[in-house]
C-alpha cells in the first residue's frame, strides 16, 4: 500500500478514512479488519478489471483516453470470462439481487478500456416496452426506491441492464460515451433516440445520470420489481 493511499479528509466521521488510489475502496487504515477486507477486494478487483488486449477485439469507438470494445454472446471464452468477471464486480458494488437478463444470447456488452483496464461497462438487451418515470413534486418517503413510474407501457428497443464506471473514473463522460455508442451500434443502420432506450431499475446514481443524459426526469425504465 503506502503510496497507493490518500487520506481524504481528517475531519471525516472516521478519522483515518482512506481511499485506495488503485481499487477505489474506502476504508479505515487503522482498523485491521478493514485492512484485510481492503486487501481482499484490492486483488480481486484489480484482477477483474485487468485488460491485456485480445487478438481480435471488436473496437466500436475510440477516444483520446480510451476505447469501447463490444463483446457478443458467441465470442471466444476469454472475452465472455472477462465480461462475467466485470459483471460480478459490478453486481457486488450495486448489491443487485441478480436480475439475469431475459435473453442472455441477445445481450451486447460494451467495455470502456483505458490503458490496460476495464473502467466502464454497459450491458444492453433487446426489450419491447418500458415505462416513463413520473416526476414527483415531493419524493414519497414510503417508497423503497427514489422514483415512481407510469403504468402505461411505451414501445422501446434497447434496455440498459447495467451501466457502471470505475469509481475513480466517474464524471469523465465515460457513461455518456457508452450510451452514445450503444445507441449507434445496437440496431444496424440506425441511431436510437432516447425514447427508444430504457434503464433497468436505476440506482440513485443511475437516475441522476439518466435524467441528465436523456435531458428529462421522465426517462424510460423497465425490469423493476415492486
H, E, C per residue of the chain: CHHHCCECCCCCCCCCEEECCCCCCEEECCCHHHHHHHHHHHHHHHHHHECCCCCCCCEEEEECCEEEEEECCCCCHHHHHHHHHHHHHHHHHHCCCCCCCCCHHHCEEEEEEECCEEEEEEEEEECCEEEEEECCCCCCCCCCCCCEECCCCEECCEEEEEEEECHHHCCCCHHHHHHHHHHHHCCCCCCCCCCCEEEECCCHHHHHHHHHHCCCCCCEEECCCC
Cβ-based nearer residue to Zn ion, 42 or 82: 42
Q: Kindly state whether residue 168 participates in binding ligand ACO, applying the rule CB under 6 A.
A: no
Q: Binding residues for Zn ion, per CB under 5 A?
A: 20, 22-23, 42
The contact mask relative to ligand ACO for 90-109 (x = CB under 6 A, - = no) is ----x---------------
The contact mask relative to ligand ACO for 197-216 (x = CB under 6 A, - = no) is --xx-xx-xx-xx--xx---
Minimum Å gap between C-beta 178 and ligand ACO is: 8
Residue nearest to ligand ACO (CB): 206
Query: Which residues contribute to the site for ligand ACO (CB under 6 A)?
Result: 94, 160, 162-165, 170-176, 199-200, 202-203, 205-206, 208-209, 212-213
Amino acid at each position: 500500500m503506502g503510496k497507493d493511499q490518500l487520506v481524504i479528509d481528517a475531519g471525516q466521521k472516521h478519522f483515518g478514512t482512506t481511499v485506495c488510489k488503485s481499487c477505489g475502496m474506502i476504508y479505515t487504515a487503522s482498523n485491521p479488519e478493514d485492512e484485510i477486507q481492503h486487501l481482499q477486494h484490492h486483488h480481486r478487483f484489480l484482477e477483474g478489471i485487468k485488460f491485456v488486449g485480445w487478438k481480435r477485439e471488436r473496437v466500436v469507438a475510440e477516444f483520446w483516453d480510451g476505447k469501447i470494445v463490444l463483446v457478443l454472446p458467441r465470442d471466444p471464452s476469454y472475452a465472455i470470462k472477462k465480461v462475467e468477471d466485470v459483471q460480478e464486480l459490478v453486481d457486488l458494488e450495486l448489491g443487485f439481487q441478480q436480475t439475469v437478463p431475459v435473453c442472455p444470447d441477445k445481450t451486447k456488452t460494451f467495455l470502456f478500456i483505458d490503458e490496460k483496464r476495464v473502467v466502464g461497462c454497459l450491458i444492453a438487451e433487446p426489450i419491447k416496452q418500458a415505462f416513463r418515470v413520473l416526476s414527483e413534486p415531493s419524493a414519497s418517503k414510503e417508497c423503497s426506491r427514489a422514483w415512481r413510474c407510469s403504468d402505461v407501457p411505451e414501445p422501446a428497443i434497447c434496455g440498459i441492464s447495467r451501466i457502471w464506471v470505475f469509481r475513480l473514473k466517474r464524471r469523465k463522460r465515460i457513461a455518456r460515451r457508452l450510451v452514445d455508442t450503444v445507441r449507434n451500434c445496437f440496431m444496424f443502420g440506425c441511431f436510437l433516440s432516447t425514447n427508444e432506450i430504457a434503464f433497468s431499475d436505476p440506482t440513485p446514481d443511475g437516475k441522476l445520470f439518466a435524467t441528465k443524459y436523456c435531458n428529462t426526469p421522465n426517462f424510460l425504465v423497465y425490469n423493476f420489481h415492486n
